Amino acid sequence: MSINRIYCLLTFALFTWAGIVTQPAFGQVGEYCQFENEAIANKDKLRLVAFQDSSNKGANSAKIAATKEYQAIVKEHRQTLNSCRQKSWLKTQGIWLRLYPCDLQSGKLEEVMDRIVNRGYNQVFVEVISNGTILLPMTANATAWNSLVQSEQYKNADLLKLAIDKGRERGLKVHAWLFTMNVGVGYGQGFDRNGASRQTASRQQAIARNGNGDNTISIVENLGKNPNGESPTKNQLFIDPYNYQAQSDLYLAAYEVAKRQPDGVAFDYVRYKRGAGAASVVSNVRYLWIYGQASLQALRDRAENFQGRELINRFVKQGYVTPTDLQAIKKLYPQESEPLWQGRRPMRISDKNPAIAYWQNELWRLAVGHAFIGVTHYLGIVSKPVLRQGISASVAFFSDGNQPVGDGFDSRMQPWQKFSTVYEWQPMAYAICGKPECIVNQVLRVFQYAPEGAKISPILLGQWNESFPDRPSLELQMQAIRSALPSINSISHFSFGWQTRELAFTRSRQVCKL
């Protein structure tokens, strides 16, 4: 008997002993449509064999058999998951996912999607721009970002398109997750595929700045464990939403994403950067991120006469205006009765010569409104390629990101109440109080201000089957939302890589080399 024949028989016997070939496919699911351990283990074994590297004839026969079995189980799990979700109050359960170059390894992307299905998810949001890189192949990337995969061997590999295809095979709705105003420090760095530098003067001008000339790299945002309760976020770079170069760069990225026909596109970071400590509340114009060249020009253009333009100039330069400023602009433009700008009506005769506090307040309202409009204007531009393709779009936002705080505003300046209902609304309900109530209250606030017809799908942070002193388990959060807001039938979780059982798996995907 030949060596290959003996190897083939031995391989078949081992697989039969392991229960891979002879076992029926398991598709049972428990609460929240999560698959049972036996079904998961059976699918994992088959996937490992189906994607093993084998040139031996006997092993190849076993691989073909395992591949057939694996494909059958994938199909069965897709049908089981779909049936379970149709019967559940929660029709859509999503997860947010970051991919890595090593996900191009044989069977790795399939494993990622299998793990997502195993936990009962039927929707996945795949991050497109990550740490200043973009999920497009090197040979088809004309954007302002380097491709995530920088391997010559995989220069044609389209990881985003592969993720869409592999997800759909398993019954997942695959959405592209696109950062908007936070473009990452890799924006405009390196060289494009024609060898030209991406770091142009126009892209330098596209970066958001405050009145002190700061860009957003050096500003703290995330909460952490240092004595001030904060840690620096060095990989964030926000753009000026009024800048044409910034608009066209993200428009192109959204266009490329739409070409790959995902089930939807989620727009994240549709806001300015949050300041640190006391600067998390902004009450002076000089701390607003409106000092980019384009944004300042647009603000000045809101003036409706020369006095208005001059007063705006002095306000943004100084951070305030004085009675002396008012007297000076009247001497400069005596033919005009008072400063005027968009949204401000001329005063009645009885209201002439108001206190300087009146002008301070009016100018502050103008600056805040200008910052807010920049966010919604930018979203409207960069989402056009998606909406024109008939692809659904959503916006992730903080429910408290739009509110006044004391004499100022939350520095993120996120006017979600002005977002159109053409987008699905995804409030990030990340409140910390140790109970579900504060999380529910954040979602309730969105319902309070949302216009009729808005579809609201909260995003939750937490762990399955595990509560912490400051955060309940995902189950408790979802049950509380269901009790308070029974109309909600779509929820997502942030994120796949943060789930306890996926930490080691995610780490292995991060550190491996292609």
Tell me if the bond preceding 61 is cis, omega within 30° of 0: no
pLDDT in tens, the chain (514 residues): 443 443 343 343 333 333 333 333 345 788 899 999 999 999 999 999 999 987 666 678 889 999 999 999 999 999 999 999 999 999 999 999 999 999 999 999 999 999 999 999 999 999 999 888 999 999 999 999 999 999 999 999 999 999 999 999 999 999 999 999 999 999 999 998 889 999 999 999 999 999 999 898 877 675 433 334 445 567 899 999 999 999 999 999 999 999 999 999 999 999 999 987 788 899 999 999 999 999 999 999 999 999 999 999 999 999 999 999 999 999 999 999 999 999 998 887 556 678 899 999 999 999 999 999 999 999 999 999 999 999 999 999 999 999 999 989 999 999 999 999 999 999 999 999 999 999 999 999 999 999 999 999 999 999 999 999 999 999 999 999 999 999 999 999 999 999 999 999 999 999 998 8
pLDDT value for 58: 64
Pure H helices in 192-243: 201-205
Cα angle 342, 348, 350 (rounded to 5 degrees) comes to 145
What are the structural domains, with CATH classification, of the chain?
1-88 (no CATH), 96-290+379-511 (3.20.20.80)
Going 295 to 296 to 297 to 302, the CA torsion angle's sign is positive
- Distance (Å, whole) CA 363 – CA 246: 26
Cα 297 off chain centre by:
29
Contact 402, 414 (CB under 8 A): yes
- Distance (Å, whole) CA 116 – CA 112: 6
- Distance (Å, whole) CA 171 – CA 47: 17
| Residue type at position 317 | K
Closest CA to 422 of 370, 449, 383: 383
Contacts of 434 (CB under 8 A, 6+ apart): 469, 470, 471, 472
Report the DSSP pairing between strands 146-147 and 133-134: parallel
pLDDT value for 351: 66
Q: Which residues of 82-96 are buried (b: 16+ CB within 10 A; e: fewer)?
A: eebbeebebeebbbb
pLDDT value for 25: 38
- Distance (Å, whole) CA 399 – CA 443: 7
- Distance (Å, whole) CA 145 – CA 150: 12
Would you call 221 exposed, middle or buried from its count of C-beta atoms within 10 A (0-12, 13-18, 19+)? buried
Give the chain's end-to-end CA distance (angstroms, integer).
40
pLDDT value for 348: 72
List phi, psi (to 5°) of 137: -65, 150
Q: Pull the structure tokens for residue 44.
A: 């994992």
Contact 155, 137 (CB under 8 A): yes
- Distance (Å, whole) CA 301 – CA 296: 9
- Which residues share a beta bridge with 147? 134
Report the DSSP pairing between strands 281-282 and 408-410: antiparallel
